[in-house]
Amino acid sequence: MHHFDRTLLNASVILACCCCGRDTPAQRVEGRPTRVLVLFQQQAEAPPMLEFTERFRRTLQDEMRSPVEFYQEALDLDRFAERERSSSLLGYFQDKYRGLGIDVVVAVGERARKFAVEPLNAVLPGVPIVFALCAEPQTDPSSLPAHVTGRLAMASRFGPTLAMARRLQPDAQRVVIVGGAGAADSASVLAAVSATHSLGDALPVVIVQGLSLDATLPKLRKLPRHSIVLFANYRQDGQGHSFEPLDIVGSLARAAAAPMYAQLRSYVGEGVVGGSVARFDEEGIRTALLVVRVLRRRVGEPMPSVQTIQHSFAADWRQLRRWGLAESRLPKGTDLLFREPTAWERYRAIVLAALVIAGAEFLLIARLLIERSQRRRAQFVLEEQQRSAEAARRQIAHMGRVAVVGELAATISHEIRQPLAAMRSNAEAGALFLSRNAPDFVPTHRRFFEILFQDITAENEHASAIITRIGALVRGEVLPRAPVDLNEVCQSAARLLEHEAEARRANITLLLCTRSALVIGDAVEFQQVVLNLALNALDACRSAAEPRVIISTDARDHEVEFAVHDNGSGITADVRQHLFQSFFTTKSTGLGLGLAIVQSIVERHNGRVCVDSNEHLGATFRVLIPRLPSAEVPTVQRLNSSSPAMRQASGRSSFASSR
């Protein structure tokens, strides 16, 4: 009953449509699903077609917001071209769809459109038709019935692709158009040829068409490199074999000895460089939106007008590289596909992370190094402080010892005065007694005792003089200064050493200059200097085979030098740096004061002490004192140190008073 009602209803609608000559939305019955019949010119399973269908269905369903029933027929008209008007095919549609209430027929492809508009009109009269993926000139928009609309590629669609090819290959010498032998293929080849004319440049056009696929491939292989190969379409070859173009476009592109361009986005990726392409997925969406507009027309509203399929530029980055074509010459806005990221793009994250880690490590190492150097510096400063504290401690201890020695010297000099005075008066008394009360003495014995008493008195004087100076020194008094003849000082010192030299079996030689060797100062102090240096020299050459000490003077223009040289073992560098420090000694019984006293006396006389030391050649101590010009000499200080008794006793010491 229900079925019968619907048939009646449909029949009345068809009648109404036939009467008014145009489709109206009144056909659609509220409350039932929208029924859409999709007719595919080819098989519906080819990948581009699947893309189209998937988007078309989804968009339509989403936009309608009510149930949509899809019916789908793949006419495969390229292979069954002659059957499109056969009564059995129409009968099939009649049996299947008549009375079902198809709301819209969507014809995908040129021949599907033709089939829908003409034979099928008898089965589904007046049902609105929306065609998709059609192209001029096969579809002429001006000759379409009123209930037909759709989306159409312009006849000039090859133009932008050719323009792109010309930009990429400015040195191209020909355009080669490749096409199949089918009707749709020929229409595409024609459109491509007319595009080359409209391009306006005089490149020769070669058409490779009508051959079998097996014959086409070698032809493409032999093409000259400076060719632009344009893929028009290839659904059927010259031997009547049908193809899905997507299946063969890759082999054609790979065989071609020159870059190949095509019109469909799906072909980019199969080996063609690119082109001004249409997207089937995009067309699925746009066709669905057009269908929605058709279904939602108000009563009496005409069909929406035919729309133009938009093309956009796409290119395969890998093919640009293969043919050495510059990416920069691509038209603006080209969709560059399959671009492989550069090493930097690919490893950027890793490189950046590595840089960050390396930077952090660098900072850490730098910080550690800085810390270490700071620690070392601090340690060095600490050690320096410790060293200077130690030096200060030693200095304080030294000063303490010096003070003690000072006190000791003061005490000794005070204490010794009395015995010395007693010794002297005894010696003087002895001498007096001898002169008055010893007439019985043998003259030689008398003379001996006279000299003995004189010597004791002289040594006593010398000792007193030294003690007086030590006392003055300790009290900080300045000693009276007078001209002193250093030749005399050396002579008197040598005389005093005679006994010592003899005891040590040493030879003391005097080498005195003939020029006046006058200086200003204290004769006793100078004598002390010579004695200290000479005694050290005698100590140093103690173990020599023939111990020898030379005391010499040299008067120059502005200074007088007196030197003490020995043939001892010399002075090591280690000892040398402590030589003049008080209490420094290498001798078991030494005090370590001799050289300190020498230096202090010499410095008090504005002089200086130098040391020459050669290992195995002994040491030489030189003392340099400013010379007093002889014209300025008033009276010269004399030392009372002549020791005739000693001189007579000495057998080894020899004195040369000139040189």
Report the distance separating Cα 458 and Cα 544, nearest Å. 33
Amino acid at 651: G
User: Is 474 in contact with 623 (CB distance < 8 Å)?
Assistant: no
Q: Which lies closer to ligand ADP via its Cβ, residue 249 or residue 579?
A: 579
Q: Residue number with the shortest CB distance to ligand ADP? A: 594
DSSP secondary structure code for residue 84 in this structure: G
Q: How far is the CB of 417 from ligand ADP (least distance, A)?
A: 25
Q: Which lies closer to ligand ADP via its Cβ, residue 150 or residue 594?
A: 594
Q: Which lies closer to ligand ADP via its Cβ, residue 385 or residue 577?
A: 577
Q: Which lies closer to ligand ADP via its Cβ, residue 246 or residue 544?
A: 544
E strand map for 161-211 = 174-179, 205-209
Q: How far is the CB of 596 from ligand ADP (least distance, A)?
A: 6
Q: Which lies closer to ligand ADP via its Cβ, residue 72 or residue 507?
A: 507
Q: How far is the CB of 594 from ligand ADP (least distance, A)?
A: 3
Residue ranges binding ligand ADP (CB under 6 A): 532, 536-537, 540, 566, 568, 571, 575, 579, 584-587, 590-596, 619
Q: How far is the CB of 453 from ligand ADP (least distance, A)?
A: 32
Pairing of strands 34-40, 68-74: parallel
Q: How many CB atoms lie within 10 A of CB 569?
A: 17
Q: How far is the CB of 419 from ligand ADP (least distance, A)?
A: 25
Report the distance separating Cα 227 and Cα 224, nearest Å. 6
- Kindly state the tokens that stand for 402: 């010096």
- Kindly state the tokens that stand for 358: 């390396």
Give SS3 for 274.
Answer: strand
Report the distance separating Cα 2 and Cα 271, nearest Å. 56
Report the distance separating Cα 659 and Cα 87, nearest Å. 158
Q: How far is the CB of 586 from ligand ADP (least distance, A)?
A: 3
Q: How far is the CB of 530 from ligand ADP (least distance, A)?
A: 13
DSSP secondary structure code for residue 627 in this structure: P
The residues pairing with 153 across neighbouring beta strands, listed in sequence order, are 135
Q: How far is the CB of 490 from ligand ADP (least distance, A)?
A: 16
Amino acid at 70: F
Q: How far is the CB of 516 from ligand ADP (least distance, A)?
A: 28
Q: How far is the CB of 623 from ligand ADP (least distance, A)?
A: 13
Q: How far is CA 308 from CA 59, 121, 142, 194, in A?
A: 19, 25, 14, 19
Q: Which lies closer to ligand ADP via its Cβ, residue 101 or residue 568?
A: 568
The candidate with the shortest Cα–Cα distance to 404, out of 593, 588, 580, is 593
Helices marked H in 256-298 — which ranges?
280-295
Q: Which lies closer to ligand ADP via its Cβ, residue 289 or residue 611?
A: 611
The candidate with the shortest Cα–Cα distance to 545, out of 519, 526, 568, is 568
Q: How far is the CB of 438 from ligand ADP (least distance, A)?
A: 43
Q: Which lies closer to ligand ADP via its Cβ, residue 112 or residue 619?
A: 619
Residue 417: which residues within 8 A CB-CB, separation 6 or more?
464, 467
Q: Which lies closer to ligand ADP via its Cβ, residue 577 or residue 586?
A: 586
Phi, psi (5° rounding) for residue 71? -120, 140
Cα 190–Cα 192–Cα 198 angle in degrees, nearest 5: 105
Q: How far is the CB of 378 from ligand ADP (least distance, A)?
A: 39
- Kindly state the tokens that stand for 66: 């009510």
The residues pairing with 549 across neighbouring beta strands, listed in sequence order, are 508, 566
Give SS3 for 644.
Answer: helix
Q: Which lies closer to ligand ADP via its Cβ, residue 241 or residue 542?
A: 542
Q: Which lies closer to ligand ADP via its Cβ, residue 189 or residue 496?
A: 496
Q: Which lies closer to ligand ADP via its Cβ, residue 10 or residue 620?
A: 620
N- to C-terminal Cα distance for the chain?
Answer: 166
Report the distance separating Cα 316 and Cα 297, nearest Å. 42
Pairing of strands 129-135, 148-153: parallel
